[in-house]
Chains A and B, each alone.
Chain A
Amino acid sequence: MDRMDGGDAAQVTRALGGDQDAFRALVERHGRRLFRLAYRMTGNENDAEDVVQETFLRAYRRLDRFESRANFGTWLYRIGVNCSLDMMRKRKTESSQRVQASGDDPEASDPLDNVVSTDPAPDRMMLSAEVKEKVQEAMKALSPVERTAFVLRHFEGHSIEEIGKSLGLGAGATKNSVFRAVQKLRRQLEPLVSTGE
């Protein structure tokens, strides 16, 4: 996340005084980037929009708890991470309830999904849409904490320390969450992307 410039601090002070236009300026400055983070984490456009709205509503309600010395962008981002985590947990629960109701095994999948393709490279290129679908599935299969740690480390380039603070984890547990996420992605996707060397 971009570091807060002087503008953020001034807008926060004005918003605390009841100036809604000042809060609007903060929404306009950070909304788009927050959306991208939420989309990466939830993997769904509608959920990402809901997360962004909820993030700004929570931030507005807690604005008086924001310390002016801190970085508004980082603070807002952490709220966004928590809202995304809540959304992912909610979706996981709904999904497992649906699976339980239908009597299916959540771990079961089409055995053909795991068959290593031996197709030559040109044919593989045609599978790119399938690969994208598999990548989405593999991302969905991560736990909320694993997915958050991975998105923040891989896409957002946050340090292990920063991610640990957002998730309330120590460095070892944070590193392990990133590792577990990559390990799961690798197991799911390596057969699809290997060039048959």
Chain B
Amino acid sequence: MKHLSEQELVEYRYADAADRAEAALHLHECAECRAAYERLERVLAAVDALPVAEPSADYEAQLWRKLAPQLADRKRGFDWSAWREWLAPRRLVPIGAMAALILGAFLAGRYLHRPDQGPNVAVNNAQPAPQQVRERILLVAVGDHLDRAQTVLLEISNAETDGTGKEAKRGEVDISQEQQRAESLLAANRIYRQTAEHSGDNTVANVLDELEPVLMDIVHSPSKVSGPELAELQKRIEAQGLLLKVRVLDSSVRDKTRTPAPQPGTRGL
């Protein structure tokens, strides 16, 4: 007799199990699983017994007294909470990386082409502006990011459970490596999306915006997904045409980075 797994017991408890009647029948017949289920219920009962702080009788009045003065300012005011969120320590590492990238771009723009400058060169048209160099370096970074994202999406899309029919349903796929990669991509994705939004690059921002919840979904999935769970992830990637969008954007970004920089004495882009 195959016993119910820990996950199946939890899904039964919350009525989330696909085959609840089958699980109920098994629990009725199997003393071992029944005991495990009772232990689970005792744990959850202990959690239920945790007292909840009850606000005072005049809580609403107190709350309003605190809120009212802030409403007029906040309606039109600057969204400091967004900045607090931006400057949260967990974001400082990618922000630091981005700052280093921009600093590198600035220094590259300032010094890289200096030896090529001749006395007769029309400086205005002679070299890429630092802004162009910055954009180019950012494009390279976004291109690499899209490459890595594409690999993760492709691996998930092409993954297969081992078996067919009933077996396929029971079969599991280990996606722990893809999850680790998706997790590291997630933080970078947020930064690139926000940068693209700030610079008004809607095409890049929109694709990264669609990519973000899918990466999050992969990160929070079980490390070994069942056939239906894998199919759900694949469906989500497929339904949005995400892989194609990432591929097209990646190709367009790569094209832009391959466009030669203006040479001294030539016209700009």
Enumerate A49-96 residues with CB–CB distance to B below 8 Å: 49, 52-54, 56-58, 60-61, 86, 89-90, 93
Chain A binding site: helix, strand, loop or mixed by DSSP? helix
**B23: A residues at CB distance < 8 A:** none
| B50 and A132 form a contact (CB under 8 A) | yes
| A178 and B10 form a contact (CB under 8 A) | yes
Given contacts A57-B70, A154-B44, A189-B43, contact A90 B88 (CB under 8 A): yes
**A123: CB under 8 A from chain B?**
no
The CA of A89 and the CA of B229, in the complex, are separated in Å by: 27
| A58 and B11 form a contact (CB under 8 A) | no
Nearest CB of chain A from residue B62's CB, rounded to whole Å: 9
| A190 and B39 form a contact (CB under 8 A) | yes
The CA of A58 and the CA of B35, in the complex, are separated in Å by: 47
The CA of A176 and the CA of B219, in the complex, are separated in Å by: 11
| A27 and B85 form a contact (CB under 8 A) | no
The CA of A132 and the CA of B88, in the complex, are separated in Å by: 31
| A27 and B67 form a contact (CB under 8 A) | yes
Say which size band chain A's interface belongs to: 35 or more
| A193 and B42 form a contact (CB under 8 A) | yes
**A117: CB under 8 A from chain B?**
no
Nearest B residue to A143 via CB reads: B220
| A86 and B85 form a contact (CB under 8 A) | yes
| A93 and B88 form a contact (CB under 8 A) | yes
Q: Encode contact with B along A158-181: 1 for CB under 8 Å, 0 otherwise.
A: 001000000011111111111100
Enumerate A108-141 residues with CB–CB distance to B below 8 Å: 128, 131-132, 135-136, 139
**B236: CB under 8 A from chain A?**
yes
Which stretch (B53-61, B137-145, B249-257, B260-268) binds chain A? B53-61
Q: Encode contact with B along A20-63: 1 for CB under 8 Å, 0 otherwise.
A: 10011001100110011001100001001100111011101100
**A185: CB under 8 A from chain B?**
yes
**B225: A residues at CB distance < 8 A:** 172
Nearest CB of chain A from residue B93's CB, rounded to whole Å: 12
Say which size band chain B's interface belongs to: 35 or more
**A173: B residues at CB distance < 8 A:** 216-221
| A136 and B50 form a contact (CB under 8 A) | yes
**A179: B residues at CB distance < 8 A:** 6-7, 10-11, 222
| A172 and B222 form a contact (CB under 8 A) | yes
The CA of A168 and the CA of B42, in the complex, are separated in Å by: 31
**A12: CB under 8 A from chain B?**
no
**A53: B residues at CB distance < 8 A:** 63, 66-67, 70
Nearest CB of chain B from residue A39's CB, rounded to whole Å: 5
Nearest CB of chain B from residue A81's CB, rounded to whole Å: 15
| B71 and A23 form a contact (CB under 8 A) | yes
Which B residues are closer than 8 A to A by beta carbons? Answer: 6-7, 10-11, 13-14, 16, 35, 39-40, 42-47, 49-53, 55, 59-60, 63-64, 66-68, 70-71, 74-75, 77, 79, 81, 85, 88-90, 213, 216-222, 225, 228-229, 232-233, 236
Known: A93-B89, A176-B221, A189-B46. 12 other contacts (CB 8 A): A20-B68, A32-B59, A57-B67, A154-B47, A168-B213, A172-B222, A173-B217, A175-B11, A179-B7, A182-B40, A183-B10, A185-B43
Can you identify 23 A-B contacts, CB atoms within 8 angstroms? A24-B68, A28-B60, A28-B64, A35-B59, A53-B70, A57-B71, A90-B88, A154-B47, A168-B216, A169-B213, A169-B216, A169-B217, A169-B220, A172-B217, A172-B232, A172-B233, A176-B220, A182-B13, A182-B40, A185-B47, A186-B6, A190-B39, A193-B42
